[in-house]
């Protein structure tokens, strides 16, 4: 009887698990946004299979936008201090971007003449 109960509980819990691969948005050039609660991030995949890859913007991504050449993002770096960082990713270069503060971010947007606006994650 206990084995049957354990199997029933395990199946019940498994059906309640959140499948983060359902919350993926393609951002072009093998970049993608993957949302999973407080671990939403932007990744770069070196192949066509999603669900893994190099983390470009670490969790927690709260806002982002993109076009054919760039991705911009806002993230909370530390859940305790709530430190906010901004990112500009040049998809043509494929390099790891450095986190920016809001002043640096806005200066770079202006310098690059980017008409992207941070949108809340989906």
Quote the pLDDT of residue 10: 44
In a domain, 7, yes or no: no
In angstroms, the CA 74 to CA 52 distance is 21
Q: Count up the domains in the chain and report the number.
A: 1
| Domain residue limits at 111 | 19-120
pLDDT higher than threshold 70 for residue 50: no
pTM as predicted: 0.77
pLDDT band at 49 (very low <50, low <70, confident <90, very high): low
Residue 75, classed as helix, strand or coil, is strand
In a domain, 116, yes or no: yes
Between vectors from CA 44 to CA 30 and to CA 113, what angle results, nearest 5°?
75
Quote the pLDDT of residue 51: 59
DSSP, res 100: B
Each as own residue / partner, the long-range contacts of residues 110-113 (CB below 8 Å, 24 or more positions apart, any chain) are 112/70, 112/88
In angstroms, the CA 106 to CA 96 distance is 19
In a domain, 81, yes or no: yes
Handedness of CA 43, 44, 49, 52 (dihedral sign): negative
In a domain, 52, yes or no: yes
In a domain, 9, yes or no: no
Average pLDDT, the chain: 81
In a domain, 13, yes or no: no
In a domain, 10, yes or no: no
In a domain, 59, yes or no: yes
């Amino acid at each position: 009887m206990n084995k049957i109960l354990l199997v029933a509980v395990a199946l019940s819990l498994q059906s309640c698990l959140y499948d983060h691969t359902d919350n993926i948005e393609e951002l072009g050039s093998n970049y993608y946004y993957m949302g999973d609660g407080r671990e939403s991030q932007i990744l770069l995949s070196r192949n066509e299979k999603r669900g893994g890859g190099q983390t470009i913007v670490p969790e927690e991504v709260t806002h982002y936008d993109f076009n054919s050449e760039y991705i911009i993002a806002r993230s909370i770096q530390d859940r305790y201090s709530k430190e906010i960082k901004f990112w500009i990713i040049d998809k043509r270069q494929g390099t790891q971007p450095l986190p920016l503060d809001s002043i640096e971010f806005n200066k770079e947007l202006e310098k690059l003449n980017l008409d992207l606006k941070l949108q809340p994650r989906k």
